[in-house]
Amino acid sequence: MANLLLDDGTIESDLGEIARELAPLGIQLKHYDPGTSLLFPNLLDQDVLTETEKRYCVELHNSVFEFLQQENGALWCDLLNVHPGSFNLHHLIATYGRYHTHPAPEPVYVLAGEMIYGFVRPDGSQVQLLIQAQDCLYIPADVEHWCGPTALLSFKGIRYFAIAEGWIPNYTGTQVSDSIQKPR
């Protein structure tokens, strides 16, 4: 389940409270278990997946895709697989680890592992959201955020796209707040 780190050091783990905190940004977070993980438990533990295995995982989650298609116009999806040996790990961190926006929504459904997202709220304060298996995160277009893997360097998630350039970052220059980086 997700956890939200507020700028005052408070950690919120109640899904309703997290949703309330993120609502001013239009961000939606749901915990959704389609019961499919039982169909491929060995694939969730593997670092490297073949293209066939990736397609299999994605196809098992067509219900999530169909929902996002209806709600947000998602046109296609892929599986993002991050692990310590990922050939593009440093590029991924450099590309998405800075505050940016996207011209289209950024929905992601987590199959395994965890990822951290940082957001700038309307008052300028910052929060960090840890998402984990079975969390479905929807970030509207133009919401300022960053994301990156946790120290585990393990994440499998299905990304949904509405336009070809939807996940290309437009950097904002906002710096991650010192108060959010320092443990309290």
Is-contact 8 127, C-beta < 8 A? Answer: no
Q: Is residue 173 part of a domain?
A: no
Question: What tokens appear for 117 in the block?
Answer: 């997202």
The CATH number linked to 48 is: 2.60.120.10
Q: Is residue 175 part of a domain?
A: no
Q: What is the extent of the structural domain holding 57?
A: 3-168
Predicted confidence at residue 159, as pLDDT, reads 86
Question: What tokens appear for 165 in the block?
Answer: 């350039």
Q: Is residue 131 part of a domain?
A: yes
Q: What is the helix (H) or strand (E) element at residue 21, kind and residue range? A: helix 15-22
Predicted confidence at residue 183, as pLDDT, reads 42
Whole-angstrom distance, CA of residue 156 vs CA of residue 111: 5
Predicted confidence at residue 182, as pLDDT, reads 43
Q: Is residue 180 part of a domain?
A: no
Q: How many CB atoms lie within 10 A of CB 102?
A: 20
Q: Is residue 14 part of a domain?
A: yes
How confident is the prediction along the chain (184 residues), in pLDDT tens digits per residue?
Answer: 899 999 889 999 999 999 999 999 999 999 877 666 655 667 777 788 888 888 877 777 776 667 666 666 777 778 888 989 888 899 989 889 999 999 989 889 898 899 999 999 999 999 999 999 989 999 999 999 999 999 999 999 988 888 877 678 999 999 988 766 544 3
Predicted confidence at residue 124, as pLDDT, reads 93
Burial class (CB in 10 A: 0-12, 13-18, 19+), 19: middle
pTM of the predicted protein model: 0.85
Whole-angstrom distance, CA of residue 62 vs CA of residue 103: 24
Q: Is residue 179 part of a domain?
A: no
Q: Is residue 62 part of a domain?
A: yes
Burial 103-140 (b: 16+ CB within 10 A, else e): ebbbbbbbbbbbbbbbbbeeeeebbbbbbbbbbbbbbb
Number of domains the chain contains: 1
Whole-angstrom distance, CA of residue 64 vs CA of residue 125: 31
Predicted confidence at residue 79, as pLDDT, reads 84
